[in-house]
Amino acid sequence: MRIQFAVLQIIVFVVLARTCSFAEAQKIVKRVMIYSYAGGLGGGSNTLITIQRKRNKFLSNSRPVSAVQVQSLVDALSAPPLLKPDMTNLGITQEWLASKVESQRIPDRTRRAEETASQEKLFDLNLIANVLPGLFVNDITDILLFCKVEIVFDHGSKLSAESYSYYPFMLPWSMKGERFTCNADISRAVAALLPAESVNKSKLAGDELAYDLGFLVMR
């Protein structure tokens, strides 16, 4: 009887675990809110968008929004936190570096070809791994950046994150005011949902990453 009772407990536990997992997977996004701000001594500008689910479609001011992009944001906010920037998560690979070297050269007609070739060799993963922490070191700035995203599900639960960072991808993100994550997938998902020319869209998308890395390497 003891063995049978123990087996029954295991079965009940497995069923409950699967039920909970199924319930999590079935959560339906009701609304997504994104607020992005950039300002300084001369004033500021902001972008506020609200994405509503209507009849199984997502709309923002009558603009259709991809359900796949909304789900990407849900997945990113639900992922375990990254305690520090990760090169793979940032999208930094040897192929990515090779594609960016040409665009990050400092124009100099007097530079010899052999100098250019030697500088290109500096752009490898080992060196980037060494200089990467330098992208996330505090500097004095008079620019204030802010972004907040909130997802509301149909049964009332929420996922949210916010950032005051001016580092690439606006990392890190603060979640619930206590937990931080350096997950660039959140930034990319937010950027994808923002309309063109939105405040901080380029920063969130990581468009400045290659330039910033190139500056650190050449320094």
Residue 172: exposed, middle, or buried by beta-carbon count in 10 A (0-12, 13-18, 19+)?
buried
pLDDT reported for residue 89: 97
The verdict on pTM exceeding 0.85 is no
163 phi and psi, to 5 degrees?
-145, 140
The answer to whether residues 45 and 201 touch, using CB atoms and an 8 Å cutoff, is no
Q: What is the mean pLDDT of the chain?
A: 83
The pLDDT of 153-177, averaged and rounded, is 93
**Sequential DSSP letters for 42-87:** TEEEEEEEEEEEETTEEEETTEEE-HHHHHHHHHHHHSPPPSS--H
Distance CA(151)–CA(189), nearest Å, equals: 12
Q: Which residue has the higher pLDDT, 43 or 13?
A: 43
> Which residue do the tokens 């209507």 mark?
54
Higher-confidence residue of 89 and 140: namely 89
Contact 167, 136 (CB under 8 A): yes
Quick one: CA dihedral 178, 179, 183, 187, positive or negative? Answer: negative
- The terminus-to-terminus CA distance of the chain in angstroms comes to 73
pLDDT for 144 beyond 90: yes
Does residue 194 carry a pLDDT above 90?
yes
Q: What integer is the mean pLDDT of 197-219? A: 91
Predicted local confidence at residue 138, as pLDDT = 73
Predicted confidence at residue 77, as pLDDT, reads 96
- pLDDT confidence of 115, banded at 50, 70, 90? very low
Query: In whole angstroms, what is the distance from residue 192 CA to residue 190 CA?
Result: 5
Confidence of residue 142 (pLDDT cuts 50, 70, 90): confident
Q: Is residue 169 scored above 80 in pLDDT? A: yes
Q: What pLDDT does 12 receive? A: 39
pLDDT for the residue numbered 140: 64
CA distances, 23 to each of 16, 20, 83, 156, 182 (Å): 10, 5, 28, 14, 27
pLDDT at 188 over 90: yes
Task: Give yes or no for residue 19 having a pLDDT over 60.
Answer: no
Residue with more model confidence, 212 or 59: 59
pLDDT at 17 > cutoff 70: no
pLDDT greater than 50 at residue 162:
yes
The model's pLDDT over 41-98, given as tens digits with 9 standing for 90+, comes to: 888 999 999 999 998 899 998 899 999 999 999 999 999 999 999 999 999 998 998 8
Comparison of pLDDT for 101 and 186, the residue scoring more? 186
What residue segments make up the domains of the chain, in order of their start?
A: 27-83+139-201
